[in-house]
């Protein structure tokens, strides 16, 4: 039977707070193979039973079931809408109406009626305390509430309450953005939570990223000196009337029992100072001080419907240990970002003090040096009496271990748990195989994503940094998008990248940008140019393109188009004869072929910069083509050809030798397709020579590492790619696994073979950049590849790279059309190795199966295989397929 399995709105199952009609998609379910949608009908209503339909598309002849734009519905603010779909397929079947999907609109173009209110004054600019604001109100008498929607944001971080209960399950709202240009607000449905008569709303406000202590320089007040709240509660009554409650000077303010809260340093809470019942009715707040009104541009407020930070999971302690130095340490068994929640009994004035950290030293003692100046310390002062439960609220920590410095009573596992925080994204990738070290590597990559995707893609979650480094986000973007649904996460961050670009089009090193004019470690960013480093700044082009490739979303290309174009033009202006280099460049950052005492790898920065110049220009030309901007496509396609030619003239000798004899130089030239075709074989052979010179190990840094396995396997060197991946001594991915890592490290030898540490000034143990190899697991080992000519996996290319002495691999990716699955098993026979390949193709898509190194196809169920030498190919529609073949 044909049916619509689920509907998505902006790639989510539901949305709360949108300013525009979301794009619609749906997944098709059928018992048949080769199912193609031939038409659909879409309806919109404000009634979930569709008794009154606002919009009916009629029957649309189309196979489009993803990124469907609905433009003919005039939306109203603060309103819930319902969407449903039914379809017809190529087998003559018609589905019933789908289950409904729903979304709530935000403020849209409706003006905010209130102001930003603050419990602070300018004298509090260096204060890290948390404050409270509250207001009592009564509902209009005589009519029942039909709906009530709260729109709320803050300068700083907020937690909102209604009648004593926290509103929503989001944390660290409204997140971190380029606040002067882009401030998110959240929308919550309070329809069932209002009381018939008196009500109280209130909020706690913390410094957060807005005015808190941020960056390696530990400066503060980057965006302002006072925390503030803005909200608008829109209550619709069943008689058609409306009541609106806003933030204004009628609110009252007081200090919170949270005396200190900072992103890096943690939180101090004195529970004895609690104002019990302050956020509920029956509390007398008339003695509280008045709020002050803050001037801030309300035009920058933008609805955030999804992808807010949440408590995603809770982990129990793996063990409680006593170190050789006598410290009591809780080991949660996993490096993560989040909070420790604890339960405690004690008397008034007793304290719980927790210090969070990532790893033990070689002797098994607490190791804090790599936190630099970040304290990651939580202190809780008990009020006494009944059992008390607490976790921080306006900070987060990066940790696996917790040193218990103070705790009244016996320290037992059941009184502690780690709450895992990250942006709420649906898991989309699954990878499992016969090599348990590779499985652990995959888990480490995933946990690196979780630990660093806390509202912005940070480099690390523990030390005094936690910044949105563009280079890390760029090289990891594709991997992240296989692991989780990252479209909305990156779309939000890319909007800030656009806002923080220089007028000339330069791109900051970090987004949101707080580094301009500041000093990073020993690298003077102010003297060297505070923006526009190759591979880092290219996130402006590569990340939007990756979103288009993975999700088929042209909106993000439209949103970022002028930003992408400005970055290309910036490189044009600052290049000489199409060889590009601009002030400070990071090059192949922290490569092992760097000179002693340097972070800069041996690959010349003008080669790295020009390679990325060519690559980004190519991708931008394709983006222009995807948007139908033919003139730009032709212009930038021609520019890319010119850059490639000048790259070849500059960096290749007439005999075909790449002048820079480094692994990374050869990787970039091959992966970005910059090698003159007659010289490709020589370039590949030299790369393999360079690999063998280091006993099969890489010596690459941030730039070369992500593409190393691709550069090998795409050029007939699959065996070497597998050998590189499976190395387990230093330096290698599996060296970290063997050392007990649960996330990806910043350095190949963060912990050296003798147990000593890499330099403490830059030694994160949760740094996802080198986890970019994860995309090779999906794109090559599993062979699940997107097609830029039919993006979003409308057409799937399935081409697994068998090898590594693995006996089996199971992998899947949840695309917008459904799950793409690949399983392969290898068994020995008298004829040689036989591979059994099972694939699953979602409905309304097609796949091309490409197999290499095939001696003979033994069996192909429902697949017509075509031979081209040792390669075999087949075109298939939706369904499940199996084939067996004998390897060469």
Nearest CA among 334, 403, 406, 336 for reference residue 364:
403
Prior bond to 174 cis, omega within 30? yes
Q: Is 117 helix (H, G, I), strand (E, B) or coil?
A: strand
Rounded Cα distance between 764 and 451, Å, is: 12
**Residue keyed to tokens 């990651």:** 376
Q: Reply yes or no on whether 746 is catalytic.
A: yes
CB of 137 closer than 8 Å to CB of 199: yes
Question: Which tokens hold the place of 573?
Answer: 């202006």
The CA radius of gyration of the chain, in Å to the nearest whole number, is 28
Check residue 368 and report its DSSP letter.
Answer: -
The residue annotated as part of the active site, out of 120, 262, 720, 746, is 746
Rounded Cα distance between 217 and 316, Å, is: 35
Q: Is 423 helix (H, G, I), strand (E, B) or coil?
A: strand
Check residue 122 and report its DSSP letter.
Answer: G
Rounded Cα distance between 704 and 718, Å, is: 17
Rounded Cα distance between 554 and 796, Å, is: 18
Length of the chain: 888
Rounded Cα distance between 706 and 727, Å, is: 16
Rounded Cα distance between 104 and 79, Å, is: 5
Rounded Cα distance between 695 and 698, Å, is: 9
Q: Which helix (H) or strand (E) holds 650?
A: helix 630-651
Q: Which of 145-163 are b and which e, b meaning 16 or more Cβ less than 10 Å from the residue's Cβ? A: bebbbbbbbbbbbbbbbbb
Question: Which tokens hold the place of 514?
Answer: 């707080």
Residue 276 CB partners (closer than 8 Å, separation 6+): none
* Beta bridge partners of residue 886, listed in sequence order: 834, 856
Prior bond to 526 cis, omega within 30? no
Nearest CA among 716, 46, 778, 130 for reference residue 445:
778
Rounded alpha-carbon distances, angstroms, from residue 567 to 42, 310, 499, 541, 564: 39, 34, 13, 8, 5
> What SS3 string covers 768-829?
HHHHHHHHHHHHHHCCEEECCCCCCCCEEEECCCCCCCCCEEEEEEEECCEEEEEEEEEEEE
What sign does the dihedral 475-478-482-486 (CA atoms) show?
A: positive
**Residue keyed to tokens 């509660």:** 233
Q: Reply yes or no on whether 358 is catalytic.
A: no
Question: Which tokens hold the place of 401?
Answer: 């271990």
* Beta bridge partners of residue 874, listed in sequence order: 849
Residue 43 CB partners (closer than 8 Å, separation 6+): 50, 53, 55, 56, 57, 83, 84, 85, 97
Residue 195 CB partners (closer than 8 Å, separation 6+): 139, 163, 281
* Phi and psi at residue 887, to the nearest 5°: -75, 150
Rounded Cα distance between 588 and 535, Å, is: 9
**Residue keyed to tokens 């005039």:** 74
The residue annotated as part of the active site, out of 102, 267, 379, 465, is 465
Rounded Cα distance between 306 and 23, Å, is: 14
Distance between first and last Cα of the chain: 42
Q: Which residues have a catalytic role annotated? A: 465, 746
């Amino acid at each position: 039977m044909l049916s619509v399995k689920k509907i998505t709105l902006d790639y989510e199952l539901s949305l709360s707070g949108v300013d525009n009609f979301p794009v619609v998609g749906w997944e098709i379910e059928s018992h048949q193979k080769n199912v193609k949608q031939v038409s659909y009908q879409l309806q919109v209503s404000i009634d979930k039973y569709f008794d009154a339909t606002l919009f009916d598309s009629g029957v649309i002849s189309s196979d489009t079931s993803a990124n469907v734009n609905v433009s003919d519905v005039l939306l109203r603010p603060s309103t819930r809408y319902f969407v449903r779909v039914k379809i017809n397929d190529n087998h003559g079947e018609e589905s019933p109406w789908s289950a409904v999907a729903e979304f709530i609109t935000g403020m849209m173009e409706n003006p905010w009626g209130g102001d930003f209110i603050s419990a602070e004054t300018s004298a509090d600019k260096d204060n890290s305390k948390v404050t409270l604001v509250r207001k009592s109100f009564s509902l209009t008498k005589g009519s029942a509430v039909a709906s009530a929607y709260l729109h709320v944001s803050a300068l700083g971080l907020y937690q909102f309450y209604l009648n004593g209960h926290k509103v929503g399950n989001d944390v660290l709202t409204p997140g971190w953005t380029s606040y002067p240009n882009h401030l998110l607000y959240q929308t919550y449905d309070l329809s069932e939570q209002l009381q018939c008569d008196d009500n109280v709303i209130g909020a706690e406000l913390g410094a957060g990223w807005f005015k808190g202590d941020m960056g390696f320089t530990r400066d503060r007040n980057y965006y302002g000196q006072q925390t503030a709240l803005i909200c608008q509660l829109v209550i619709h009554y069943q008689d058609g009337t409306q009541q609106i409650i806003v933030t204004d000077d009628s609110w009252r303010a007081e200090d919170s029992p949270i005396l200190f809260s900072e992103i890096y340093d943690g939180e101090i809470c004195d529970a004895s100072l609690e104002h019990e019942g302050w956020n509920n009715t029956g509390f007398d707040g008339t003695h509280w001080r008045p709020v002050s009104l803050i001037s801030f541009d309300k035009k920058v407020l933008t609805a955030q419907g999804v992808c807010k930070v949440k408590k995603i999971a809770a982990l129990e302690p793996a063990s409680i240990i006593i170190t050789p130095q006598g410290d009591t340490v809780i080991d949660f068994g996993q490096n993560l970002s989040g909070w420790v929640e604890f339960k405690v009994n004690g008397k008034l004035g007793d304290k719980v003090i927790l210090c969070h950290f990532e790893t033990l030293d070689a002797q098994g003692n607490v190791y804090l040096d790599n936190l630099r100046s970040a304290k990651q310390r939580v202190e809780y002062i008990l009020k006494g009496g009944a059992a008390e439960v607490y976790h921080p609220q306006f900070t987060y920590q990066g940790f696996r271990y917790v040193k218990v410095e103070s705790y009244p009573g016996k320290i037992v596992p059941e009184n502690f748990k780690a709450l895992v925080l990250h942006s709420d994204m649906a898991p989309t990738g699954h990878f499992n195989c016969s090599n348990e070290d590779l499985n652990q590597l995959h888990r480490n990559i995933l946990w690196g994503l979780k630990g660093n995707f806390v509202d912005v893609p940070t480099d690390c979650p523990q030390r005094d940094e936690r910044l949105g480094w563009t280079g890390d986000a760029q090289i990891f973007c594709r991997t992240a998008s296989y692991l989780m649904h990252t479209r909305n996460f990156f779309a939000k961050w890319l909007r800030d990248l656009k806002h923080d670009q220089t007028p000339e089009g330069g791109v900051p090193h970090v987004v949101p940008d707080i580094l301009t004019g500041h000093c990073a470690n020993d690298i003077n960013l102010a003297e060297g140019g505070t923006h526009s480093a190759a591979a880092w700044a290219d996130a402006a082009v590569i990340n939007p393109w990756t979103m288009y490739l993975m999700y088929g979303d042209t909106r993000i290309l439209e949103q970022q188009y002028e930003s992408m174009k400005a970055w290309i033009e910036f490189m044009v202006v600052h290049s000489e004869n199409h060889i590009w280099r601009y002030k400070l460049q990071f090059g192949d950052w922290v490569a092992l072929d760097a000179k002693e005492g340097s972070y800069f790898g041996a690959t010349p920065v003008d080669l790295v910069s020009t390679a990325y110049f060519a690559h980004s220009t190519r991708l931008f030309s394709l983006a222009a083509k995807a948007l139908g901007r033919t003139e730009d496509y032709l212009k930038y396609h021609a520019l890319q050809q010119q850059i490639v030619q000048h790259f070849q003239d500059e960096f290749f000798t007439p005999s075909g030798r790449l002048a820079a004899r480094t692994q990374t130089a050869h990787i970039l030239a091959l992966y970005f397709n910059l090698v003159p075709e007659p010289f490709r074989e020589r370039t590949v052979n030299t790369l393999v020579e360079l690999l063998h010179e280091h006993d099969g190990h890489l010596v690459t840094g941030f730039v070369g590492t992500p593409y190393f396995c691709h550069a090998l396997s795409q050029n007939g060197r699959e065996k070497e790619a597998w050998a590189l991946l499976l190395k387990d001594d230093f330096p290698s991915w599996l060296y970290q696994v063997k050392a007990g890592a649960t996330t990806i490290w910043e350095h190949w030898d963060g912990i050296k073979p003798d147990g000593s540490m890499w330099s403490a000034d830059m030694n994160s143990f949760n740094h996802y950049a080198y986890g970019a190899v994860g995309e090779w697991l999906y794109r090559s080992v599993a062979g699940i590849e997107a097609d830029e000519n039919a993006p979003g996996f409308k057409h799937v290319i399935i081409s697994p790279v068998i090898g590594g002495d693995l006996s089996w691999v199971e992998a899947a990716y949840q695309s917008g059309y459904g799950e793409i699955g690949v399983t392969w098993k290898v068994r020995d026979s008298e004829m040689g190795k036989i591979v059994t390949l099972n694939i699953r193709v979602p409905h309304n898509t097609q796949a091309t199966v490409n197999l290499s190194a095939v001696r003979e196809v033994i069996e192909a169920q429902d697949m017509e295989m075509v031979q081209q030498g040792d390669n075999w190919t087949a075109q298939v529609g939706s369904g499940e397929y199996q084939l067996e073949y004998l390897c060469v």
